[in-house]
Chain A
Amino acid sequence: DTEVTQTPKHLVMGMTNKKSLKCEQHMGHRAMYWYKQKAKKPPELMFVYSYEKLSINESVPSRFSPECPNSSLLNLHLHALQPEDSALYLCASTSGRGRSNYGYTFGSGTRLTVV
């Protein structure tokens, strides 16, 4: 298995809803990432988990809450989002060690619309 799987592919949520995005990989990778991508823009890093521990938080608002329950799974919990949070949310993983740490595998993303 050489894929990163993200669910759901599309999500529409109201500003008072609570929802979660899920990311799964079975490549034995130990580093996992959440990126946010607005239309016609490059991806922006949100969070990095290394060996199931949060190692980087790029000053993301607390309405986004990441969770790494185990080495294969990464969640992003969403609460009280704003319309400007509408974007493509990408998950990625790398081996977490050595030069292979630089071989990112991206999922196909969750397209989130906040109404």
Chain B
Amino acid sequence: AQSVTQLDSQVPVFEEAPVELRCNYSSSVSVYLFWYVQYPNQGLQLLLKYLSGSTLVESINGFEAEFNKSQTSFHLRKPSVHISDTAEYFCAVSSYNQGGKLIFGQGTELSVKP
């Protein structure tokens, strides 16, 4: 069975500071990895995904994540956060034998303060 662990439930940071949201997974097969962002009272938006190829993936708004197979991690980073990045972030995993089913972590609440 697959599982996802997001190590921090809440991450408070000041504006323009760097941030890392941690995600570890467990799986016996090859995985596909995702980060989703959920702003208050909204649905989920795909931030970035790793399916294959380069282990470093980037989003259009400055976030990046690196797939580390040996450490079974997919941490999300941003060098300088903005107030508008305040949201809930979910790491998720899927694999070819899951029929497209996504397994979500518990979420990390990123709170950016001025």
Binding site for B on A (CB under 8 A): 6, 31, 33, 40-43, 45, 48, 50, 55-56, 90, 92, 94, 96, 99, 101-109, 111
The tally of CB-CB contacts under 8 A between chains A and B is 58
Most chain A beta carbons < 10 A, residue from B46, B90, B104: B104
Measured in the bound complex, the distance between the Cα atoms of B107 and A115 in whole Å is 28
Contact of A96 among B41, B49, B94, B100 (CB under 8 A): B100
Q: Which residues of A contact B42 (CB under 8 A)?
A: 108-109
Q: Which residues of B contact A40 (CB under 8 A)?
A: 107
B52 touches A48 (CB 8 A): no
A94 touches B43 (CB 8 A): no
B94 touches A102 (CB 8 A): yes
Measured in the bound complex, the distance between the Cα atoms of B43 and A107 in whole Å is 6
Q: Which residues of A contact B102 (CB under 8 A)?
A: 43, 45, 104
A92 → B minimal CB distance (Å): 8
Measured in the bound complex, the distance between the Cα atoms of B90 and A103 in whole Å is 15
A104 touches B46 (CB 8 A): yes
A108 touches B43 (CB 8 A): yes
Q: Given the known inter-chain contacts A99-B52, A102-B51, please indicate yes or no for A90 contacting B46, CB distance below 8 A.
A: no
Measured in the bound complex, the distance between the Cα atoms of B44 and A55 in whole Å is 23
Q: Given the known inter-chain contacts A42-B90, A99-B52, A102-B49, please indicate yes or no for A48 contacting B99, CB distance below 8 A.
A: yes
22 interchain pairs, CB-CB under 8 A: A33-B100, A41-B106, A41-B107, A42-B90, A42-B106, A43-B90, A43-B102, A45-B102, A48-B99, A48-B100, A48-B101, A50-B100, A56-B101, A99-B51, A99-B52, A102-B32, A102-B49, A102-B100, A104-B34, A106-B44, A108-B43, A111-B41
B46 touches A42 (CB 8 A): no
Measured in the bound complex, the distance between the Cα atoms of B101 and A56 in whole Å is 9
Question: From B52, which residue of chain A is reached at the shortest CB distance?
Answer: A99
Q: Which residues of A contact B90 (CB under 8 A)?
A: 42-43
Question: From A40, which residue of chain B is reached at the shortest CB distance?
Answer: B107
B46 touches A103 (CB 8 A): yes
Which residues of chain B in 41-57 are interfacial with respect to chain A, using CB atoms and an 8 Å cutoff?
41-46, 49, 51-52
